[in-house]
Structure 1
Amino acid sequence: MTDGLKTIIYPVKDLDRAKALFTALLGTEPYADEPYYVGFKDAGQDVGLDPNGHARGMTGPVPYWHVADIRETLAALLAAGAEPLQDVQDVGGGKLIAFVKDADGNLVGITQDPPA
């Protein structure tokens, strides 16, 4: 059902400070550097900084599981009792994301890559 856990997004209040911290931590410049998102790649892992994350209900880092069919997976998570926090959204180039909260308050993200 999943292609693994390959992305983690951190909600940040000060994008410039967070970018400096992760640049120092990872020893590399971001591959994406926009006012709405900064993204790094490290050992096959995507690490993103989202300055709008807190406003969308992110209370901490959100792991994103890569799935083949995001709508099917989201429906299954909701049927299993998850609370929707962000419905499926295209974040550019056909990449889809959504996230939910489980019964313990943990945030779970899912993402679907654009068709090849």
Structure 2
Amino acid sequence: MAQSSVLRGMATLTFYAADHAAAKKWYTEFFGEAPYFDMPGYFEFRLGDYQHELGIIDAKYAPAARAAATGGAITYWHVNDIKATFDQLTALGATEFEPITERGQEGSGFATAALTDPFGNIIGIMTNPHYVKMLQQKNA
């Protein structure tokens, strides 16, 4: 299949955290592993089937125009069990931004939710049959 899109795939998603040390501890607990890259002001995890990168930047390095309020685009990560992941995140102190919501036609398997981490970043989670299908085709 010829590549027709200018956007080829997510490379790195970055979040900001004013309490950088607390963010490292929080995300390490959530992911169950330490960041693979760690330096003052920035640490990074590789996650999931495609080893996408999630970097956490000390908020003192945030662009001046960055909004202080929670908001903006939401990146949704495919999860196997949206309820269990939602519950895990809330147990760690994340708060509901958007409840678990079924999308598309009833029974389609698409559902989304979003939570705000203790540092003001939005974590989108979803069940996505299209993602599963693409992963199965890739691995066939």
Q: Give the TM-score taking structure 1 as reference length.
A: 0.49
Q: Which has the higher contact order (CA 8 A, sep 6+)?
A: 1
- Structure with higher helix content: 2
Q: Give the TM-score taking structure 2 as reference length.
A: 0.41
